[in-house]
Chains A and B, each alone.
Chain A
């Protein structure tokens, strides 16, 4: 009788894999709240909407307050003095910081002549970002004020990658296995060296 040992390996592997997946799924049940959306950080405090120094106030509003990949979040910032009037000629620096990879995704600097800016920002990755806004007085500003910095965390809804991207990544993982089978199966079918074939049962006496 010709039975390939491959069948036994195959069945054993399938069983191990099935059990491993079950274990992962059950372990995941306990970690459900420490996953994607919240990350390692403690639950965020109330978002920082404004910062004041010496009577000057930097105020930042986001609409909507949470992002979605491919949709614009409008960031509005303004600097006002103690009387509530806008400061003229404010230099703003705006940074969109990717928290998970700790890298600046976008960074720009500009002068707002009337002390107020509107910035339409699109997020390209569905994970937490931090919007960092720094306001400094330009040389010709209507009032000189200390640097005002504000950091604002923005949650961006995770988005599954496109199907063809997933399939392509999966194929990259499968190619080594397919190559291994293509090399290994012909080798395994050859007679083992120095051992008799066990394909025939010994003849009954």
Chain B
């Protein structure tokens, strides 16, 4: 039995691979979170530099 470290790691990784549909949902949620952070957060350090972008996109409410 030559179950070395690399083999064991790859085996463990392959068993936690998740359903494609769940991946898609997480993907969309992550994109949503990023867009929210970029475009809607009131946190000034992100909100202020992206002010022009927000206005350029036209559909994003700003102030």
Contact = CB atoms under 8 A, between A and B. Distances in A.
A32 B32 CA distance: 25
B46 A24 contact: yes
- The range of chain B's interface size is 20 to 34
A31 interface: yes
Interface in A1-48: 1, 3-4, 6-7, 10, 13-14, 17, 21, 24-25, 27-29, 31-32, 34-36
B61 A185 contact: no
A181 B49 contact: no
B23 A10 contact: yes
Interface in B6-63: 14, 17, 20, 23-24, 26-28, 30-32, 34-40, 42, 44-51, 59-63
B46 A35 contact: no
Contacts of B39: 169-170, 173
A175 B22 CA distance: 17
A33 to B, nearest CB: 9
Contacts of B60: 169
B59 A169 contact: yes
A120 interface: no
Given A3-B17, A27-B49, A174 B23 contact: no
Contact of B40 (A3, A25, A31, A166): A166
A21 B31 CA distance: 12
Contact of B17 (A7, A34, A169, A189): A7
A160 B41 CA distance: 9
Contact of B47 (A35, A125, A166): A35
Nearest to A4: B20
A96 interface: no
Given A24-B38, A31-B48, A181-B24, A36 B30 contact: no
Main secondary structure of the interface of A (DSSP, over half): helix
Interface string A109-130: 0000000000000000111000
B27 A181 contact: yes
A7 B19 CA distance: 10
Contacts of A170: 32, 35-36, 39-40
B59 A174 contact: no
Contacts of B50: 24
Interface string A157-198: 011110001100110111001100100010001000000000
Contact of A7 (B23, B28, B46, B51): B23
Interface of B: 14, 17, 20, 23-24, 26-28, 30-32, 34-40, 42, 44-51, 59-63
